[in-house]
Structure 1
Amino acid sequence: MAIVWKHPHGSLSVYPNLRCIASFGAGVDFIFENPDRPPDVAITRVVDDALAEDMSEYVFTVIMGYLKNTSQYVMDQFRGMWSPKPYSRISDHTIGIMGIGTLGTHLAKDLRNIGFKVVGWSKNPKKLKDIPVYHGAESRKEFLSKSSVLVCLLPLTPETRGILNQDTLNQLPKGAFLINVARGGHLKEEDLIPLLDSGHLSGACLDVFAEEPLPKEHPFWDHPLIQITPHVASVSDPASVVPQLAENYLRLSRGEELRNRVDLQQGY
């Protein structure tokens, strides 16, 4: 069993008896992108209540900052500007969550309990109490049209890579706000700034990027409507994660079914 996180390509090929590749986090896209991955070896991922709660708290913080203009006021402070702005309320917004897996479901319920209107979208049918969940490509346009704040929590697969592009984001209401806390590969980066400059999007908060750390020359750093955080929305805590990895190792050694096993065809 190999426990990995963004391991160097080729590092697993020296283990001919490998029976399981265990991600140290919730994501597994980096495992599937490894060209020398043994194709039939089981893959597992971390499913952790602490990770889900961390993600929910991060997204809630960003949304409330957007509603109350706190990020803009931080910038105004350093410029010595006293510039009151109109704010909005929880009741004014519908939060659209792309990806209703473990993290997306937790976030959707938390936001709904706070009082937000919430809609979800996933590849396959999902049911959540009091939260409409759209599914499939044919319903994505309707889902996007209702989302004044869009949160991406999709798994990164060949199907979802680049899904946050000009065509998709143009289907959001004018003035919508984007939050990407999934993977940098979901966003077609060159499409974002024109949508911000045109006013179609009112802002974006990005925690993940195609290249990390984000290169110093990247145009996102200097754009006033883009908030950047360094991939910190939800970070695996060894004290919480190691016990489930150890349990899966024991299950593997006994020939038992593994917990949180990834579908090798779906990629998540």
Structure 2
Amino acid sequence: MPEILFAAPDRLWPAYEEHLARELAARGIDARLRRPGEVAPETVDYLIYAPGGAVSDFTPFVRARAVLSLWAGVERIIANPTLTQPLTRMVDPGLTEGMVEWVTGHVLRAHLGIDAHLAGQDGVWRNGIVPPLARERGVTVLGLGALGSAAARMLAALNFRVTGWSARPKAIDGVACLAGPAQLPAALARAEILVLLLPQTPETVDLMDARRLAMLPKGAVILNPGRGSLIDEAALLAALETGQVAQATLDVFRTEPLPPEHPFWAHPRVTVTPHVAAETRPVSAAGVIAENIARDRAGLPLLHLVDRARGY
């Protein structure tokens, strides 16, 4: 009978306990779900993990076959030198749906010029504010993993001219896919609206610096629900002041919560959302965790295994 340790913050346990038990039972897995202090580390077979819980040293978990992350991003986890066990990241259908909805909503907000109408509720009939059709608007998605690909497909279904860019070649119906450093300038040049959905790696930190912000069409809109480190904050503020970037909607930041004194809060052309674009939903994430445990018990490869050399 496998021992499974819920090594995530205590506040998450009530939301996950019932769903994990149900999903494990549905797959015929008779397991013991434990919390820190209830089981000896050397007897644990799997850890369900998120930073901020009681576990920070993985060394005692000598029998553990995998660490199953509840987070989509794993840069804070792979930086732990004691983690030598296989690590999987969370690819949750509910998380993906939430991200697609956030991206689609904010792309449409920018495309339709909704902010101008909201600001103009003063009795003036501004019927000169007419957006182009979606097929006339270029949207670029940087990052074509599970989240970026899903968002790109939805935007293409709405008839936007979608360009996708990734480090390695991808193919997505309805999306012009570019890849590699040499094609990044072309992807940026098409980005009237730019969506950042890249992971954090040494290559992506400060990717959107002053030089690359200057490659965007004048007056571009930036949406960042990916990683706060993707944007050079000082360069973005400078680009907003010159009008090179017309507006930025940011969901992720280098420091979270975003400090009250940060200039993003008061900037008239920046919208801050508090890291809500994609939340892991226990009801669906529990199934992802249980499926991976079932696969491992059956001798099948783990899904969503992290490549530590690539960082995701």
Q: TM-score, normalised by structure 2?
A: 0.78
Give 5+ residue unaligned stretches, structure 2: 1-45
Change in CA separation of 1:13 and 1:41 when aligned onto 2, cut-off 3 Å? closer
- Point out the more displaced range, 211-220 or 242-251: 242-251
Residue 221 (str. 1) matches residue 261 (str. 2): no
The aligned residue for residue 23 of structure 1 is 69
**1:193: Cα distance to partner?**
0.8
| Partner SS state of residue 212, structure 2 | helix
The aligned residue for residue 98 of structure 2 is 54
**d(CA) in 1 for partners of 2:291, 2:57:** 22
Change in CA separation of 1:87 and 1:165 when aligned onto 2, cut-off 3 Å? farther
Pick the aligned partner of 2:309 from 261, 265, 268.
265
**d(CA) in 2 for partners of 1:135, 1:253:** 37
**d(CA) in 1 for partners of 2:50, 2:140:** 29
- Structure 1 residue runs of 4 or more that deviate by more than 6 Å after TM superposition: none
**1:267: Cα distance to partner?**
1.4
| Partner SS state of residue 241, structure 1 | helix
Alignment identity in percent? 34
**What letter is aligned with 2:181?**
A
**d(CA) in 2 for partners of 1:107, 1:20:** 29
Q: How many residues align?
A: 264
CA RMSD of aligned residues (A): 2.1
Give yes or no for contact 2:225–2:251 (8 Å, CA) kept in 1: yes
Change in CA separation of 1:260 and 1:228 when aligned onto 2, cut-off 3 Å? same
Give 5+ residue unaligned stretches, structure 1: none
Residue 7 (str. 1) matches residue 52 (str. 2): yes
Change in CA separation of 1:194 and 1:253 when aligned onto 2, cut-off 3 Å? same
Q: How big is each residue's C-alpha offset from its partner over 1:229-268, in whole Å with a ceiling of 9 and x where there is no partner?
A: 0011111110000122122234345553211111122111
Q: How big is each residue's C-alpha offset from its partner over 1:5-58, in whole Å with a ceiling of 9 and x where there is no partner?
A: 233697133533143222103211221233x342x4211012222222211111
Q: Which has the larger radius of gyration?
A: 2
| Partner SS state of residue 271, structure 2 | strand
Give yes or no for contact 2:195–2:224 (8 Å, CA) kept in 1: yes
Q: TM-score, normalised by structure 1?
A: 0.91
The aligned residue for residue 87 of structure 2 is 43
Pick the aligned partner of 2:138 from 94, 101, 107.
94
**d(CA) in 2 for partners of 1:250, 1:7:** 26
Pick the aligned partner of 2:231 from 187, 190, 202.
187
Give yes or no for contact 1:31–1:37 (8 Å, CA) kept in 2: no
